């Protein structure tokens, strides 16, 4: 696990600046405090910071092939590296280390970009071909590892974090208004965009090739929901799912350092801990966070006791939340409207005191249909025939009702336009109508919602059933640009590696092919995964309401965090930006403070944005 960064002078008239690369690597020191490495070759300068997990003694990067033609730097893990290593040796390659990094350079030597098909893992990869003067950069299939780039003044600048690119003197920290508009609609910024005008994200499942001054980006993998001709029995699907999860967990237990697991007490993380306990001879070390009331700690303890885990817990207070807000946003590089970021940062900090790597339960909801919106979408056939005027009346009436945030959002989605518009409006930060009220004339060109983004992805989806189409767009948007971004940035902020067994691409492909009745079964969400879990977990874990991180931020914004909110969203601050209507924001705050409405998502999203702009736009983005 590492962070990578580099500079390629596209015109080849000058050498890449070594001193700039050094500053870029220093900006991501937290991703790899154990070692660093770098390669300078005329127009190229690239390097990495290493968090050593596998082959601690000999895994230094960059690593070269036998001829010295190819060099690789790498962020992530290749879990099937042992099998690949033996195959390469059998084909006559000489490997000098036992690291997963080395198999990449030899596979690229043989197969070029097609080598990505052989890799099971999470990665941001850069391979330099010294003879052809060609740079190859690739991101893993699901987007677990981030990878950014900018093209400025005939230079390609890339790195694992945006802050590394901002160190480069040619890259400006200018706010991208299209990215801001998408953030306000979705709670996150969908790739390939970012909140910076000059910086792009390489989308999941894509690679970039730079050669002879030209840059080309191509997709190498996509999720297919095409169903097999032969349908298996439910018992056979349960067995296959269990075996795929077992194998995925087994591969991710390959480590030369102590490891553990995040345990929320939900089905996903509890299932991962159960499979870990099945395969380990010593107790699983687990980590959970709570908030003093109404949290999931009792459920996490139930699972930890069931499997004899070495269990560690931490309670987070409002003071913790306020204290760490800016730190979180600096590490995230760009905001997401999520109250769980501080909790993620702090549970990672707790874990790092005991282990260097953890397994997490991310991905189960997007594979097996775990969110309420998947069940809610079943009602869309009954509302899509409503006349436009009827939909407007329903939405207008719902807005006037106190409370009922989720219900109002569901009504808005179900009575809104076509498929792409409907998907974009399931639990946004600001829906299409409130977004228009929020934005000033300066933002008049950016008042539309994000339906075009959903339409783009739906156009690339081969699924026919509405549930699968919804799962597809969530796997392309919500999962990589919200959940996985949060997980990567905030674990690596603590020099902690996070591995995600449920997102092994073989398991993802299996889940995509499943008949939808094994994902959403008569309103029972995540049906098949629960059937697997029933073999191992107490019923109290499986058959309970999904909570996520139940942070009481709604109450904190009325009390302890109110001064922070009022400072960040003051009339003076809003007028200085010129982006948002101060009166509309004041109404949101008054409604929330009085208890008339729960505007937590909108208010925390705006507070996070202002903290981020003060730190990353107004100031130097350095640590």
CB 70 within 8 Å of CB 128: yes
| Lookup: tokens for 112 | 């070029």
Beta-bridge mates of residue 521: 524
Residue 516 φ then ψ, to 5°: -65, -25
In three-state secondary structure terms, 193 is: coil
Residues 454, 144, 331: CA angle, nearest 5 degrees = 100
Distance (Å, whole) CA 42 – CA 16: 6
Q: End-to-end distance of the chain based on CA atoms, in angstroms?
A: 21
Annotated catalytic residue within 2, 115, 309, 461: 2
What does the alpha-carbon distance between residue 253 and residue 260 come to, in Å, rounded to a whole number?
A: 9
- Find, among 331, 307, 384, 319, the residue nearest to 541 by Cα: 307
- Helix then strand then coil, % of the chain, to nearest 5: 50, 15, 35
| Displacement of CA 176 from its chain's centroid (Å) | 20
The total number of residues shown for the chain amounts to 623
Does 309 participate in catalysis according to the annotation? Answer: no
- In sequence order, which ranges of 464-597 are alpha helices (DSSP H)? 466-476, 478, 485-492, 505-513, 527-533, 539-542, 553-558, 562-568, 571-577, 582-594
**Helix, strand or coil, per DSSP, at residue 317:** coil
Maximum Cα interatomic distance, the chain, rounded to a whole number of Å: 72
How many helical (H) and strand (E) elements, i.e. helices and strands, does the chain have? 29, 17
Place of tokens 């296959």: 240
CA separation for the pair 617, 614 (Å, rounded): 6
3-state DSSP assignment of residue 45: strand
Cα-Cα-Cα-Cα dihedral sign, residues 17, 23, 27, 29: positive
What positions carry a catalytic annotation?
2
């Amino acid at each position: 696990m590492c962070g990578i960064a580099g500079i390629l002078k596209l015109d080849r008239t000058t050498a890449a600046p070594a001193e700039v690369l050094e500053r870029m690597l220093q900006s991501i020191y937290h991703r790899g405090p154990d070692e660093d490495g770098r390669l300078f070759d005329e127009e190229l300068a690239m390097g990495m910071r290493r968090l050593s997990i596998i082959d601690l003694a000999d895994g230094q990067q960059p690593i070269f092939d036998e001829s010295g033609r190819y060099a690789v730097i790498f962020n992530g893990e290749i879990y099937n590296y042992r099998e690949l290593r033996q195959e390469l040796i059998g084909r006559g390659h000489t490997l000098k280390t036992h690291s997963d990094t080395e198999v990449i350079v030899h596979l690229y030597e043989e197969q070029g970009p097609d080598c990505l098909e052989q890799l099971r893992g999470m990665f941001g990869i850069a391979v330099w071909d010294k003879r052809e003067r060609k740079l190859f950069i690739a991101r893993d299939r699901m987007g677990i590892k981030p990878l950014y780039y900018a093209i400025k003044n005939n230079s390609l600048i890339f790195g694992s974090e945006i802050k590394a690119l901002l160190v480069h003197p040619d890259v400006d920290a200018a706010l991208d208004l299209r990215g801001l508009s998408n953030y306000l609609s979705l709670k996150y910024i969908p790739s390939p965009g970012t909140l910076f005008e000059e910086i792009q994200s390489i989308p999941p499942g894509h690679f970039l090739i730079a050669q002879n001054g030209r840059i080309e980006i191509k997709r190498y993998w996509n999720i297919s929901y095409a169903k097999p001709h032969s349908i298996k029995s439910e018992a056979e699907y349960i067995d296959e799912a269990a075996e795929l999860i077992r194998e995925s967990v087994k591969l991710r237990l390959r480590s030369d350092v102590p490891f553990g697991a995040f345990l929320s007490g939900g089905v996903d993380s509890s299932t991962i801990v159960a499979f870990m306990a099945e395969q380990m001879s010593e107790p699983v070390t687990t980590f959970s966070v709570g908030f003093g009331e109404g949290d999931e700690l009792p459920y996490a303890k139930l699972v930890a006791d069931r499997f004899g885990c070495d269990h560690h817990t931490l309670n987070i207070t409002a003071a913790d939340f306020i204290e760490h807000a800016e730190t979180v946003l600096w590490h995230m590089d760009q905001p997401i409207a999520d109250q769980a970021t501080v909790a993620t940062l702090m549970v990672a900090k707790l874990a790092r005191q005991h282990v260097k790597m953890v397994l997490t339960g991310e991905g189960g909801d997007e594979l097996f249909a775990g969110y309420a919106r998947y069940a809610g979408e079943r009602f869309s056939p009954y509302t899509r025939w409503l006349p436009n005027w009827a939909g407007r009346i329903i939405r207008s009436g719902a807005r006037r009702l106190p409370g009922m945030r989720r219900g109002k959002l569901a009504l808005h989605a179900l009575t809104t336009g076509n498929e792409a518009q409907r998907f974009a409006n399931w639990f946004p930060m600001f829906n299409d109508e409130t977004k228009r009220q929020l934005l000033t004339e300066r933002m008049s060109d950016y008042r539309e919602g994000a339906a075009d983004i959903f339409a783009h992805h739906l156009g690339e989806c081969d699924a026919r059933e509405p549930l699968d189409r919804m799962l597809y767009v969530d796997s392309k948007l919500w999962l990589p640009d919200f959940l996985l971004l949060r997980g990567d940035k905030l674990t690596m902020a603590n020099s902690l590696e996070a591995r995600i067994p449920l997102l092994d691409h073989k398991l993802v492909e299996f889940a995509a092919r499943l008949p939808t009745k094994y994902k959403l079964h008569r309103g029972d969400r995540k049906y098949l995964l629960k059937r697997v879990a029933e073999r191992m977990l107490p019923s109290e874990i499986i058959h309970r309401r999904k909570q996520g991180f139940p942070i009481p931020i709604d109450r904190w914004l009325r009390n302890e965090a109110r001064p922070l909110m009022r400072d960040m969203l003051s009339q003076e601050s809003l007028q200085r930006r010129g982006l948002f209507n101060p009166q509309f924001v004041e109404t949101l705050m008054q409604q929330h403070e009085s208890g008339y409405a729960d505007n937590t998502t909108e208010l925390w999203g705006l507070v996070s944005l202002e903290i981020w702009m003060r730190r990353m736009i107004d100031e130097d983005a350095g640590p």
